[in-house]
C-alpha cells in the first residue's frame, strides 16, 4: 500500500467500533470535511475535530457499526489512502463506542449557515443573488462561495444564531425565486445546514467572497477591470476582462479532439494565430489566440456551450485568458503557430533518436483519423454561413454550425452543400477537407 509516511495507516489492535480515530489531519480541518470523508460509507452522526496536542486528530461516529467497518476495510485494501487537502489520513477504530456530549455541526445552531445550491446551473448562481435571498432575514455580514464534492456551496454569516435559524427554517429546501435569476438559468434550490464556523475570514472583496461589514477591504485583482472598477454585468455576475486569447475547456469527450479539429472550428470566425492544447484537472483544455479582441469576443459568444460532434459530444466551455500572446516554441500535435506557415513539425512521441521532424505532405500533416478515434468525418459539423445560432435550441442538443462572413478558408460568395448527415462541403469538393494553411499574419 502506497503511503507518504512511514507510519502505519491502520492499527488492528482495537476491536471494531462505530467511532473511528483519524490522525495526521490538516490542523485547520473542518467538521464538514470529516463528514464528506465518511459520507461514501454511511451516515456520520457525530464528529469531534481538532483534538490532540497538534490539533491534527479527530473522531467520526457512524450510525451503524458495519459502516465504520466498511470504511476501514476499503482503505486497508485500496492503493489510494484516505486524504484530506492532499494529506494522507491514518485510520483506526476508537476505543470508545460513541462520542459523548458532542452533536454534529449540522445539528448545533450557529450564526453561520452552510448552503448547498442544487440544480444543473448551480455554479452560475452569483454571490449577489445569494446576498439578496438571505438579506431578507437580517443583515448578512459575510459570504464565501466554493465548489466541493457535494457541489457548489456557500457560507453565509449572520450576526447571531437566531437570525441564521430563521433564514434556515424559511429557505431550506426552497428554490431561489425565478425573478432573481437570469433567464437562461434553470431552477436552483437551497439545502441548508449549520456550519461550525463563527467568523468567516474574507481577505478580499471578489466575485467569490464578500465582507459587507468592511467597505475598505481591498478588491481582488481578478474582480477588477482595466478602469479600476468592479466589472459586473446586468445580471449581477462578474464580467470577464476581454482578451484576444480564449481558454476552451472540453467536456464529455467521447471522441478525440485534435489541434486540426480546433483550428477548423475556431477559424470560422477569423484567422487563428496560435493554438496550445494541454491536460488539466483530468480534462482537455486549449488556448486559442486571435489577432484582436473583437474576433475572440465573437467566437466566444457563438461557441460557448455548443458541441463539436452530434449527440452532445465534446461540449465547449469558453472563457477569456489572461494571456495576450502565446509562446509556441515548437509545432507538434499539441501546439501550433499558424503565423509561421512552413514551420518545422516535431513529433511529440518519444524516439531513440530524440525529437524527429514529421514528414509534411501538403499544407498540414493530418493528425486526426476519424475512423480510429471517433466519428466519421460526416459526423463533424463544418461551418455553414446560412445557419445562425438558434437560442431556442438547448445548448446540449446543438452542434457547431457557425455564422460567418467570408471565412478565411472559403472564397467570398461560396456556398456550402450538404453532403451527408452532419457535415457540410463546398460544392467544388468531393470529400471532407481541412482548412488550407493560413497566410502569415501581418
Question: Of the ranges 229-243, 334-348, 394-408, which is most confident?
Answer: 334-348
User: Is pLDDT above 70 for 2?
Assistant: no
Q: Do 260 and 366 meet the contact criterion of CB atoms below 8 Å apart?
A: yes
* Whether 84 and 129 share a structural domain: no
- For the stretch 324-348, pLDDT in tens is 899 888 889 899 999 886 666 655 4
In the prediction, which pLDDT does 69 show? Answer: 92
55 CB-contact burial (10 Å; exposed 0-12 / middle 13-18 / buried 19+): middle
**131 lies in some domain:** yes
**437 lies in some domain:** no
Domain span including residue 55: 19-93
Q: How far apart are CA 414 and CA 385, in angstroms?
A: 9
Cell numbers at 208, concatenated: 467569490
Q: How far apart are CA 302 and CA 312, in angstroms?
A: 16
369 to 95, 276, 378: CA distances (angstroms):
61, 20, 13
* Whether 121 and 207 share a structural domain: yes
Backbone angles phi, psi at 302, to 5 degrees: -80, -35
Mean pLDDT over the full length of the chain:
74
In the prediction, which pLDDT does 392 show? Answer: 37
Q: What is the DSSP string of 220-251?
A: PGGGB-TTSSB-B-TTSPBPPPP-SEEEEEEE
**218 lies in some domain:** no
SS3 357: strand
* Whether 251 and 331 share a structural domain: yes
Q: How far apart are CA 371 and CA 14, in angstroms?
A: 57
Q: Do 281 and 247 meet the contact criterion of CB atoms below 8 Å apart?
A: no
- The length of the chain in residues reads 442
* Whether 296 and 325 share a structural domain: yes
Partnered with residue 317 across adjacent β-strands are 249
Q: Do 426 and 434 meet the contact criterion of CB atoms below 8 Å apart?
A: no
User: Is pLDDT above 70 for 257?
Assistant: yes
* Confidence category of residue 170, pLDDT binned at 50, 70, 90: very high
* Whether 118 and 171 share a structural domain: yes
User: Is pLDDT above 50 for 442?
Assistant: no
* Whether 119 and 194 share a structural domain: yes
* Whether 87 and 121 share a structural domain: no
CA-closest candidate to residue 374, choices 251, 248, 258, 276: 258
**316 lies in some domain:** yes
189 CB-contact burial (10 Å; exposed 0-12 / middle 13-18 / buried 19+): middle
**221 lies in some domain:** no
In the prediction, which pLDDT does 29 show? Answer: 83
Q: Do 110 and 164 meet the contact criterion of CB atoms below 8 Å apart?
A: yes
**314 lies in some domain:** yes
316 CB-contact burial (10 Å; exposed 0-12 / middle 13-18 / buried 19+): buried
Cell numbers at 367, concatenated: 493528425
Last residue of a domain, one of 164, 186, 211: 211
Q: Note the pTM of the prediction, 2 decimals.
A: 0.35
User: How many domains are there within the chain?
Assistant: 3
* Whether 124 and 201 share a structural domain: yes
Q: CATH no. for residue 23?
A: 3.30.70.330
In the prediction, which pLDDT does 68 show? Answer: 92
Cβ-proximal residues to 294 (8 Å cutoff; 6+ apart), any chain = none
Cβ-proximal residues to 369 (8 Å cutoff; 6+ apart), any chain = none
Q: Do 402 and 383 meet the contact criterion of CB atoms below 8 Å apart?
A: yes
**174 lies in some domain:** yes
* Whether 256 and 284 share a structural domain: yes
Backbone angles phi, psi at 108, to 5 degrees: -95, 120
* Whether 79 and 130 share a structural domain: no
- For the stretch 112-158, pLDDT in tens is 999 999 988 888 888 999 999 999 999 999 999 988 877 889 999 99
Last residue of a domain, one of 274, 304, 337: 337
The stretch 20-30 carries a mean pLDDT of: 86
* Whether 249 and 316 share a structural domain: yes
Q: Do 288 and 250 meet the contact criterion of CB atoms below 8 Å apart?
A: no
3-state DSSP percent of the chain in helix, strand and coil, to 5: 20, 25, 55
Q: Do 399 and 442 meet the contact criterion of CB atoms below 8 Å apart?
A: no
* Whether 205 and 287 share a structural domain: no
- For the stretch 281-322, pLDDT in tens is 778 899 999 999 999 999 998 998 888 887 788 889 998 888
In the prediction, which pLDDT does 273 show? Answer: 94
241 to 233, 277, 322: CA distances (angstroms):
11, 22, 8
Last residue of a domain, one of 318, 337, 356: 337
Query: By percentage, how much of the chain surpasses pLDDT 70?
Result: 67
Amino acid at each position: 500500500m502506497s503511503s507518504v509516511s512511514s507510519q502505519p495507516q491502520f492499527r488492528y489492535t482495537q476491536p471494531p467500533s462505530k467511532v473511528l480515530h483519524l490522525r495526521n489531519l490538516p490542523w485547520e480541518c473542518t467538521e464538514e470535511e470529516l463528514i464528506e470523508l465518511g459520507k461514501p460509507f454511511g451516515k456520520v452522526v457525530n464528529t469531534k475535530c481538532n483534538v490532540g496536542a497538534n490539533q491534527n486528530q479527530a473522531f467520526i461516529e457512524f450510525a451503524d457499526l458495519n459502516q465504520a467497518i466498511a470504511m476501514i476495510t476499503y482503505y486497508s485494501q485500496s492503493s489510494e489512502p484516505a486524504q484530506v487537502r492532499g494529506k494522507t489520513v491514518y485510520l483506526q477504530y476508537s476505543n470508545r463506542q460513541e462520542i459523548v456530549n458532542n452533536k454534529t455541526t449540522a445539528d448545533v445552531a450557529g450564526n453561520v449557515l452552510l448552503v448547498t445550491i442544487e440544480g444543473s446551473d448551480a455554479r452560475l448562481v452569483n454571490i449577489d443573488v445569494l446576498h439578496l435571498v438571505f438579506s431578507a432575514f437580517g443583515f448578512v455580514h459575510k459570504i464565501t462561495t466554493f465548489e466541493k464534492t457535494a457541489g457548489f456551496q456557500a457560507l453565509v454569516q449572520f450576526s447571531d444564531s437566531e437570525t441564521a435559524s430563521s433564514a434556515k427554517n424559511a429557505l431550506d429546501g426552497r428554490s431561489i425565486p425565478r425573478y432573481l435569476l437570469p433567464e437562461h438559468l434553470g431552477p436552483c434550490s437551497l439545502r441548508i445546514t449549520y456550519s461550525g464556523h463563527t467568523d468567516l475570514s474574507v481577505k478580499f472583496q471578489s466575485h467569490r467572497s464578500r465582507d459587507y461589514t468592511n467597505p475598505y477591504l481591498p478588491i481582488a485583482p481578478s474582480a477588477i477591470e482595466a478602469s479600476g472598477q468592479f466589472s459586473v454585468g446586468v445580471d449581477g455576475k462578474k464580467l470577464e476582462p476581454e482578451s484576444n486569447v480564449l481558454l476552451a475547456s472540453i467536456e464529455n469527450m467521447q471522441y478525440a479532439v485534435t489541434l486540426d479539429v480546433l483550428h477548423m472550428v475556431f477559424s470560422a470566425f477569423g484567422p487563428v494565430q496560435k493554438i496550445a492544447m494541454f491536460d488539466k484537472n483530468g480534462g482537455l483544455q486549449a488556448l486559442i489566440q486571435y489577432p484582436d479582441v473583437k474576433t475572440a469576443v465573437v467566437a466566444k459568444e457563438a461557441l460557448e456551450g455548443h458541441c463539436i460532434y452530434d449527440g452532445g459530444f465534446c461540449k465547449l466551455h469558453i472563457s477569456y485568458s489572461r494571456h495576450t500572446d502565446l509562446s509556441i516554441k515548437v509545432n507538434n500535435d499539441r501546439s501550433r503557430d499558424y503565423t509561421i506557415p512552413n514551420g518545422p513539425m516535431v513529433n511529440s512521441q518519444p524516439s531513440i533518436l530524440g525529437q524527429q521532424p514529421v514528414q509534411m505532405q501538403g499544407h498540414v500533416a493530418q493528425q486526426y483519423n476519424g475512423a480510429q478515434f471517433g466519428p466519421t468525418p460526416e459526423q463533424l459539423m463544418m461551418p455553414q454561413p446560412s445557419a445562425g445560432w438558434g437560442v431556442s435550441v438547448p445548448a446540449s442538443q446543438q452542434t457547431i454550425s457557425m455564422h460567418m462572413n467570408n471565412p478565411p478558408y472559403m472564397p467570398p460568395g461560396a456556398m456550402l452543400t450538404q453532403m451527408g448527415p452532419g457535415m457540410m462541403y463546398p460544392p467544388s469538393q468531393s470529400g471532407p477537407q481541412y482548412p488550407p494553411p493560413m497566410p502569415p499574419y501581418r
